[in-house]
Every structure is written in structure tokens, then in C-alpha cells.
Amino acid sequence: MSEVLLASPAAGTGATPVPAASGARQFWRRLRTRRAALVAAAVVALLVLVAVAAPLFTAVEGQDPTTYHPALVDSARGGVPVGSFGGISGDHWLGVEPQTGRDLFARLVYGARVSLGVALAATLVQVLIGVVVGIASALGGQWVDQLLSRLTDVIIALPLMIMSLALLAIVPGNFPRPVLVALVIGLIAWGGIAKIVRAQTLTLKQLDHVAAARLSGWGSWRIARRELLPGLAAPVITYAALLVPSNITVEAALSFLGVGVKPPTPSWGQMITAADVWYQAAPQYLLLPAGALFLTVLALTVLGDGIRTALDPRAASRLRVGTGRRREARVKDATGETATTATAAKTGAGA
């Protein structure tokens, strides 16, 4: 994944001067040509809907994620769900959890809240810190740059999982857990985005409109806000889109290791841990959260890749999933796209 991510700094750089409105239109036009990305977007939209409307979905089913149903499991056989396919019935659409009899559908949709919520919040934290540090080090003096760049190096070098495990273990138990997990992931893994923003900002600084702004006496803050941020949008969005699935995996892994959200709050990673011993006796218990996790990460990755290509067709994906290359080429011609390919080399300098 990191290769894909590192390719992105080049992405936005060339496209900067394009006015926002026409950029957005072009972006949509290009994204539309990638069927895989569209399908992925639909899946992601559905997942977000499920997560946001989780109480609604479970109300329709008539269940909630925490109530025990001891009558629905066979206590003498270790608590395996009664009935075929893990106890699937009109009342329990995806069956029930072994040992407890809690409704799996309810736990799965509530688990989506945790997985998506934590991943999105963590991404937000990463983007915020990354952009601020990146711009500050590009615009600041030599000392500031040195200091912030080395700090970024250190952050990148930190082993994410080990640091998260350590941090989550020492924070008192009464701190709200999902917020904590999001913060920990966000605070540890912002190094990549900071590097990209710094490189991009260094390039943008050379451009005429920024120089003009500086000559007319604008302060650094105003320049950053008015002249630099629009140009940073593309690479940042691209990078963020690819960070979300990676954050989902980290959250699941932390929950799997038992330091994520606390029971009885369901999370996919936690469900997978509890289910791993049941793969033979109650396979659907493991397959449901694992499948949901797989689908989500795949959809988000494909969508992220689609966004990247749409924002910068020159750095076309190596994935080439459902790209419809020929069609894309035609669209490119039609829109009169003349990518300034020469800039690629120039931008590389910053990275």
C-alpha cells in the first residue's frame, strides 16, 4: 500500500492552477469512467448509511446488539446456536452469537459504526495534524523546518501497532474508548501526510500567484489559507481516502488484540477474536464480521484509488480494476485534457 500512497504526492501538484469548479467537474467526469470506483462508492455509501441508521435497522428487525437470548443457544453443547445456519430466523436475520445468543445482525451493523466512525475520526486527526505540520515546516524558517521534519521522521518510524498497544494500555479505563482509539491512531500515523503536504507546499511556494500574494504583503497564515490550501486539496484528499481503509484495519487489529473498544460495544475486530475458535462449529459467526471487514476495506481502497486516478490521471493506478482504459482515453480527448506531464519531474524534488 505504501507504494501507492507515495505515488500520490505527484498527483495533485500539476493540477493546482485549475480553478476549483472546473476541477470538481473534471474530477467527477473522470471518476464516472471507473466502474469499479462507482460500485465501491455505492458500497461505501451503503455502509455509511447502515452505520448511521444502525438503530433504525435493528428496530426494523426488532433486536438490539446487547440483549442475551439464552434460549437460542444449546448450553450443553458449549453454547452453539440452536437451528441451522447459526440460528437464522425471521427474528434473527443473520443468526445469533454462540454462548450469548445476542443478535448477529444487530452486532454487525452497530459494529460498522465503530469501524467506520473510528477510522474516519482517526483519518480526520491525521489530516489535520499532517496539513498543519506540513505547511508549517514548508513555510517556516530553516530551524522550524528541520525540527518538524525530524519529528515527522520519528513519527513515521514509530511502529504503529506497538505504540497503540502501549498507549491504550496506560490510559485510564474511564476515558471513552472509541474516541481514545481514534485519537491514538490519529496521533501516531500522521507522518506520511505531513511529508506530502510539505513537499507539495514547497512546490506551490515557487508558483507566481503565491509569489504575487507574498509581494503584496500577505501574511503567512493568509497565504496558506487562500493560496496554498486549494492546491493541497487534491493530494490530501487522495491520501486521506487511502488512509481510511488502513485505519479500519488498525482498529480491527487493536480490537482483535483486546485493546480496542470495550464490551459490550460490538466491533468487527472484537467479533473476529471471539469467533476465531468457532470457525468449525459456527462458521457464520466468523465469516460475517470477517466478510464485512473485507468488503469495507476493499470498497474503500478501490474508491480511494479511483479518486486518486480521477484527480491525477497521469499517475494511473497499477490496480487497473474496472478502469475501462479505452473509454477513459476517449473522455480525456473529449475534455481536451492536456496534462502538463513535464511537471512530474519538478514535483518529485520536494518529496
Partner 1 sequence: MRQPSVRARRVAAVSVSLFLAAGAAACGPKDNDAKGAGGGDSKPQKGGTLTVLNSNPQEDFDPARLYTSGGGNVPSLVFRTLTTRNRESGAAGAKVVPDLATDTGRPSENATVWTYTLKEGLKFEDGSPITSADIKYGIERSFAPELSGGAPYLRDWLIGAADYQGPYKDKGKGLDAIGTPDARTIVFHLNKPEGEFPYLATQTQFTPVPKAKDTGTKYEEHPVSSGPYKVVSNEGDGERLILERNTYWSAATDEERKAYPDRIDVRSGLDSSVINQRLSASQGADAASVTTDTNLGPAELAKVSGDKELAARVGTGHFGYINYIAFNPKVKPFDNIKVREAISYAIDRTSVVNAAGGSSLAEPATTYLPDQKSFGYTPYDHFPAGASGNPAKAKEVLKEAGYPNGLTVTLTHSNSKDFETSPEIATAVQDALKKAGITVKLDGLEDNDYRDTIHDAKKEPGFFLAHWGADWPSGGPFLAPIFDGRQIVKDGANFNNGFLDDKSVNAEIDAINKLTDLDAAAKRWGALDSRIGEQALTVPLFHPVYKRLYGKDVKNIVISDWTGVLDISQVSVK
Binding mask 157-176 for partner 1 (x = CB under 8 A): ------------x---xx--
The verdict on 101 binding partner 1 (CB under 8 A) reads yes
Q: What angle do CA 5, 194, 19 make, to 5 degrees?
A: 80
Kindly give the residue spans of alpha helices, DSSP state H, lying in the chain.
2-7, 9-13, 20-32, 35-52, 54-61, 104-139, 142-157, 160-170, 177-188, 191-205, 208-215, 220-223, 229-256, 268-275, 283-311, 325-334, 343-348
What's the residue count for the chain? 351
The verdict on 84 binding partner 1 (CB under 8 A) reads no
Crossing angle of the two packed helices 54-61 and 104-139, in degrees rounded to 10? 170
CA 197 – CA 134 distance, rounded (Å) = 5
The CB-of-114 to partner 1 minimum distance in angstroms stands at: 16
In the chain, DSSP assigns E strands to: 73-74, 80-81
The verdict on 280 binding partner 1 (CB under 8 A) reads yes
Contacting partner 1 (CB under 8 A), which of 21, 76, 157, 334? Answer: 76
The verdict on 73 binding partner 1 (CB under 8 A) reads yes
The CB-of-88 to partner 1 minimum distance in angstroms stands at: 17
Question: What sign for the dihedral angle of Cα 271, 263, 299, 232?
Answer: negative
The verdict on 74 binding partner 1 (CB under 8 A) reads yes
| Total residues at interface with partner 1 (CB under 8 A) | 30
CA 199 – CA 137 distance, rounded (Å) = 10
The verdict on 104 binding partner 1 (CB under 8 A) reads no
Give the cell for residue 182. Answer: 481514534
Give the cell for residue 167. Answer: 498507549
CA 324 to chain centre: 25
The CB-of-108 to partner 1 minimum distance in angstroms stands at: 17
What are phi and psi for residue 159, nearest 5 degrees? -75, 115
The CB-of-148 to partner 1 minimum distance in angstroms stands at: 35
Of the listed pieces 96-104, 136-144, 303-311, 333-341, which binds partner 1 according to CB under 8 A?
96-104
The verdict on 345 binding partner 1 (CB under 8 A) reads no
Contact 82, 74 (CB under 8 A): yes
Contacting partner 1 (CB under 8 A), which of 22, 28, 62, 67? Answer: 67
The verdict on 63 binding partner 1 (CB under 8 A) reads no
The CB-of-253 to partner 1 minimum distance in angstroms stands at: 16
The CB-of-57 to partner 1 minimum distance in angstroms stands at: 21
Contact 148, 215 (CB under 8 A): no
By beta-carbon proximity to partner 1, the closer residue of 86 and 313 is 86
Residues 6+ apart with CB under 8 A from 305: 4, 37, 242, 317, 319, 321
The verdict on 258 binding partner 1 (CB under 8 A) reads yes
The CB-of-73 to partner 1 minimum distance in angstroms stands at: 6
By beta-carbon proximity to partner 1, the closer residue of 57 and 285 is 285
Chain residues that interact with partner 1, rule: CB under 8 A: 66-68, 70, 73-80, 98-101, 169, 173-174, 258, 262-264, 274, 277-282
